[in-house]
Amino acid sequence: AQRVTQPEKLLSVFKGAPVELKCNYSYSGSPELFWYVQYSRQRLQLLLRHISRESIKGFTADLNKGETSFHLKKPFAQEEDSAMYYCALSGPGTYKYIFGTGTRLKVLA
Amino acid sequence: SAVISQKPSRDICQRGTSLTIQCQVDSQVTMMFWYRQQPGQSLTLIATANQGSEATYESGFVIDKFPISRPNLTFSTLTVSNMSPEDSSIYLCSVVGGVGTEAFFGQGTRLTVV
Q: What's residue B102's pLDDT?
A: 83
Q: What's residue B56's pLDDT?
A: 94
Q: Is A30 exposed, middle or buried (0-12, 13-18, 19+ CB in 10 A)?
A: exposed
Q: Is A43 on the interface with B (CB under 8 A)?
A: yes
The pLDDT of B84-103, averaged and rounded, is: 87
**Nearest residue in chain A measured CA to CA from B103:** A46
Q: A15 near A109, Cβ under 8 Å?
A: yes
- The alpha-carbon gap from A21 to the nearest alpha carbon of chain B, in Å, equals 16
Share of chain A above pLDDT 70, in %: 100
Contacts of B107 in chain A (CB under 8 A): 43
The answer on pLDDT for B100 being more than 80 is: no
Whether B45 and A97 lie within 8 Å, measured CB to CB: yes
Q: What's residue B99's pLDDT?
A: 59
Closest by CA position to A5, among listed A66, A62, A95, A68: A68
Q: What's residue A66's pLDDT?
A: 92
The answer on pLDDT for B4 being more than 70 is: yes
In tens, the pLDDT along A38-88 reads 999 999 999 998 888 788 899 999 899 999 999 999 999 999 999 999 999
- The alpha-carbon gap from B42 to the nearest alpha carbon of chain A, in Å, equals 4
